[in-house]
Amino acid sequence: MDRRKERIDRGVKARSVDIFALTSYREMIYLLIPGAVPVVGLLCFTPLLSDYWREVIISTAIYALLAMSWDMLMSAGLLSLGQSLFFGIGSYLAGSLNYYAGLPPILTLPIATLLGGVICTVFLLPVLRLRGVYFAMVTLVLPLMLSRLVEATRILGGTEGLTGLTSFPNQLTALFIIELALLGVLFGFRRIMGSDYGLVIKGISDNDRSVMSAGLNIYWYKTQVLFLGSSVGCFAGAFGTHMDMFAGMPGFALDYSIMPVAAAVVGGTGTFAGPLIGAFILVPLSEMLRALGALRIVFYGLFLVIFVVGLPEGIFAYIQRKYQQIERWVDVS
């Protein structure tokens, strides 16, 4: 063993988004490529796919939104095992606005997003004082209980659900709406977490005591994060409802809880691009394995375990390292 692998960071200044980036085209291209890949890939490449695969991309994007919403909560140290709560509430809000009031999707989507965010935040407000494991427990219980509530009281269509909702004019419109939302959330969340505000949020998850002792109200910050995360989840729900033309108890299904967590962990938590990559790996994969039926959830579960134990940093961190470092073998004998 007289060789070792040397890893050298590329110029730090070139990577910081700053005036130094403008020194040469190479630096600019180097900075722009990572951002351009999802934009070009989603907006230019996906419309060329067949109808079936466009449908797959749409459902992938829904899961990716949920995964990014999960990642936002996780950034503040709030582990949610019940993303389906957000999905379900968004879907029921959009569904009932469309079903009872006859509003078109162009109105129900924003209303369900904002109102859903407010409802979920108020709903989880008493739990927000809890952290870690306890928050996870309550979020796991809530969606299951809510679906029971719908079943027991037979409100909002009961077990039948609300059917015959308005759909989008055509598939391409739907595709572009969800992709723009996806990109907006991706870059928006990354920007938020890159700012000073994001530093406070990360601080809450790392050591909330020290954030408190800095004189910041962590509950207020957590409330804001919860609103951000849950409104994105509600948007995914509202969109999914109009896509399926149906709002019902499956909105609270376990799929919508476990899948985003698995996607975020596989891709790499705290990066937002990671959950996106994770969703774009797992959902098409499970679509190809559709014949396996219930085994899909088994795969999600196992993926989750394997990545949590074996590769906790996720795929995105690996790619990022490869992109930002020069690796070479050096002689040490």
Interface with other proteins (CB under 8 A): 74, 77, 79, 81, 126-127, 129-134, 136-138, 140-142, 144-145, 148-149, 151-153, 254, 258, 261-262, 265, 292-295, 297-298, 300-305, 308-309, 312
Min dist. Cβ of residue 76 to other proteins (A):
12
Minimum CB distance to other proteins smaller for 235 or for 300 = 300
Residue with tokens 């369900």: 112
Of residues 108 and 147, the one with the C-beta less far from other proteins = 147
- Find out whether 151 and 159 touch, Cβ atoms under 8 Å: yes
The closest of 238, 307, 240, 228 to 269, measured between CA atoms, is 307
Nearest to 211 by CA among 195, 222, 225, 226: 222
> Least separation, in Å, of the C-beta of 201 and other proteins?
16
Least distance to other proteins, CB of residue 53, Å: 26
To other proteins, the closest distance from the beta carbon of 125 in angstroms equals 10
Query: Would you state the structure tokens that stand for residue 134, as one six-digit string?
Result: 């306890």
DSSP string across 65-110: HHHHHHHHHHHTT---S-HHHHHHHHHHHHHHHHHHS---HHHHHH
Task: For other proteins, give the closer residue by CB, 32 or 295.
Answer: 295
- For other proteins, which is the closer residue by CB, 218 or 277? 218
Q: Are the C-beta atoms of residues 64 and 279 closer than 8 Å to each other?
A: yes
Least distance to other proteins, CB of residue 207, Å = 12
Q: How far are the Cα atoms of 58, 71, 121, 169, 216 from residue 200, in angstroms, in the given order?
A: 33, 16, 19, 42, 9
Alpha carbon distances (Å) from 54 to 102, 145, 170: 27, 34, 12
The answer to whether the CB of 62 falls within 8 A of the CB of 182 is: no
- Residue closer to other proteins, measured from CB, 135 or 168: 135
CB of 266 to other proteins, least distance (A): 11
- Comparison of 172 and 289: residue with beta carbon closer to other proteins: 289
